[in-house]
Amino acid sequence: MGLQETKIESLPFVTAELNYLAPTPGKPRTYAFDPPPGEPKSTSLPEPHQVPIFDARLIASNISLDREGFALVRHPTQVKDFYDDAELRAVYYPAVEAFLRATLKADRVFIFDHTVRKRVAGAADIRDGGPRQPATRVHVDQTAVSGANRVREHLPDEADELLKGRVQVINLWRPIRGPLRDSPLAMADGTTVAPEDLIASDLIYPNRRGETYSVKYNPNHRWFYFPEMTPDEALLLKCYDSATDGRTRFGPHTAFVDPTTPADAPPRESIELRTLVFHKQ
């Protein structure tokens, strides 16, 4: 059973601007590097909408990764420096892998990358230039095509066999410092997202082409966040699910400007790990 309307309407909320995809001719595309001469960096233009974003803390236990497409979990960590790549791979990666295997009852978890973010006012979001900026457009990291391609890319020798079972791409996102009040993450309830709201969009790298979903505005979308997250908490975000049995397969999300953020709040620092989660079924 999904979240009940009467319970939702009684929750605290903020009203904030979310950047959806403006109508665009052709398939939207964004270059992850300096584009060729005469080409725009991106054809994905924002269409801002003011929406209520509900505080989900009171209903956290009723929210399901399979139904809504996200979940809040408690996950303390031993990491001392999230900016130390070697420590992340030696300490954080194995801890998250074991946690996800147990929490999601998975047969296998494979971590394929991570991104550290730190908001710097007015700075551009530059890849390969230190911490990234928070992502401020509504998106899903993978599509029906690119989710399966991640298996082929990272585990090519085993891909055919692994793709016979259920495959998910799950991000584990957490604040590095907290309580987080600046640029929190908003998640759409996957049961309110229609397939036609998701627009496959090319992400062009120097040596390959990825695909993500941009998201068209739909007034039926229902948005949630968990205010003042601490570094002992994490969000599970579903970016792809091969299961087609009615479970939410793609979870739109975005950073947003919370109008209640104190002026002296430290800039958001966060990290997300991207993982392939396998079930033999």
Where do the structural domains in the chain lie, given as residue ranges?
25-34+41-176+194-205+247-256+266-280
197: its two tokens: 């709201």
Q: Phi and psi dihedrals of 174, rounded to 5?
A: -150, 155
Q: What is the DSSP letter of 42?
A: B
The confidence score (pLDDT) of residue 5 equals 59
Is residue 231 over pLDDT 80?
yes
The confidence score (pLDDT) of residue 2 equals 54
Compute the distance between CA of residue 92 and CA of residue 269 in angstroms, rounded to an integer: 16
Total Cβ atoms within 10 A of residue 232:
12
The confidence score (pLDDT) of residue 122 equals 72
Q: Output the pTM of the full model.
A: 0.94
**CB-CB contact of 82 with 154 (8 Å):** no
179 prior amide bond cis, ω within 30: yes
pLDDT, tens digit, 9 for 90 and up, residues 67-126 = 999 999 999 999 999 999 999 999 999 999 999 999 999 999 999 999 999 988 776 666
Look at the alpha carbons of 215, 219, 222, 226 in this order and tell me if their dihedral is positive or negative. Answer: positive
Is residue 6 over pLDDT 80?
no
